[in-house]
Copies of this chain bind each other. A is one copy, B any other.
Amino acid sequence: MKVAKFGGSSVASAEKFQQVAKIIGADPKRKIIVVSAPGKRFNEDTKMTDLLIQLTGAVVSGRTYEKEMKLVLNRYEEIASQLSLKHTLIEQIESSLNGLIQEYQHDSLRLADALKASGEDNNAKLMAAYLNALGKEAHYVSPKDAGILVTDQPGMARVLPESYALLEKLRERSGILVVPGFFGYSKQGNIVTFPRGGSDITGSIVAAGVQAELYENFTDVDSIYCVNPTIVPNPKEIKDLTYREMRELAYSGFSVFHDEALQPVVKAGIAVCVKNTNNPAARGTYIVSERNYNDMPVVGIASDKGFCNIHVSKYLMNREVGFGRKLLEILEDEHISYEHTPSGIDNISVIMRENQWTKEVEERVIARIQAELEVDDITVERDLALVMVVGEGMNSTVGVAAKATNAFARAGVNIEMINQGSSEVSMMFGVKSASHDKAVRALYEVYFNEIFSISYSNLH
């Protein structure tokens, strides 16, 4: 049994619905389908979720919301009519939206959650109706019926562990089950949406619950690329990726889906396949527990800008028990989260996202560090980028680090920091933000463009 999740762009129009139905029909193992709300059909288009947020805004402001409601219904209407589905479906959607508005009109957070969730919910109903119209046995299954129980804070749902046993029973149902993504039901009976990566989370929870053999995540790219395509045009595709490698790559934000969403399948050890709705023949990228990394110790280059480095030095620091812990405690106290803490004998660097380090925070935290830890010196370096070489084979392959540092030396990129721990899947380099693109391209050349890469035998 496979669970297939279709993202917003994959269910944005009638043509996409047809494409999805074809994909479902091509593999009888695709038993459970998780759908997003209709996404953008073209660059300037508005997503259904945003139309629903506009509708919520109109309702909450107390003004008439006829126009906003019409925009929402039009999107469904267009899909339904092009697929020759009954118009009564749209009437049902309208009446259910009005019902939600009546129910939650005095609680704007709940209203927002319920209306946003309706985007996925109604799209799932349309998809089930369309599959039925094609003569397939298909059933819309609401998250309540499926057993997706979540915590009760609006917009911040977390799945409750008892959901998995309930979801397991979906295995016994007949036909194709169409489940809306993005939300669950709390024990208090409320519709509650997931915080980020909404439909991805639903797909992952359902796949874990039914112990699927594969969780297919359909989106609009053929695969995950080994480097950000906006920096390196037409980069190589990644065939296989481990969960750990995926996490490291997702760090830089170029992942096609939200890494946190995968936790349930990672725990259950279920493989994930990222595939293209528009080109289902392409193999896609598989995300798995283990891969054979002999041929490909490095799988990708991740990177991100917007970091700063707080560098603290104190003579004899390494003889002072608890210094590091005390420093981290001050940061925690100030609600600052950090990324890495490379250290020397008498100094430690704390690398963090720069947006947390305002002038005000800087003054207060530096004063605290000076007063409480009596350090000799504190310096702050801004405008840093982190560039990571990611791969399971990194650590057991002689020369992987040499490749990277040579690439930087040849490109004239100065390395500000290096951080690599034993049995890690990544090696991190800190560079100035101005060198970011140059650094990423240099690493891409050396790891993925063999013509330019150096052979170590030449170094003798």
Contact = CB atoms under 8 A, between A and B. Distances in A.
Interface of A: 243-244, 247-248, 251, 260, 263, 266-267, 309, 311, 313, 315-316, 318-319, 321-322, 324-325, 328-329, 332, 335, 337-349, 379, 381, 384, 395-399, 401-402, 404-406, 408-410, 412-428, 430, 454, 456, 459-460
Provide the main secondary structure of the chain A interface. mixed
A332 B325 contact: yes
A418 B401 contact: yes
Given A325-B325, A423-B311, A424-B349, A418 B416 contact: no
A343 B345 contact: no
Contacts of A420: 342, 415, 417-419
The 4 closest A-B CB pairs, nearest first, are: A349-B421, A342-B421, A399-B409, A402-B405
Nearest to A337: B321
Nearest to A248: B345
25 contacts: A244-B313, A251-B318, A267-B315, A311-B423, A318-B339, A321-B335, A325-B332, A342-B342, A342-B421, A342-B422, A342-B424, A344-B424, A344-B425, A379-B423, A398-B408, A398-B415, A401-B405, A402-B405, A402-B406, A402-B409, A405-B405, A405-B406, A417-B421, A418-B418, A419-B419
Given A395-B416, A399-B409, 7 more contacts: A260-B316, A267-B315, A321-B335, A398-B408, A402-B406, A404-B405, A405-B405
A381 B340 CA distance: 21
Contacts of A315: 243, 247, 263, 266-267
B398 A412 contact: yes
A36 B295 CA distance: 61
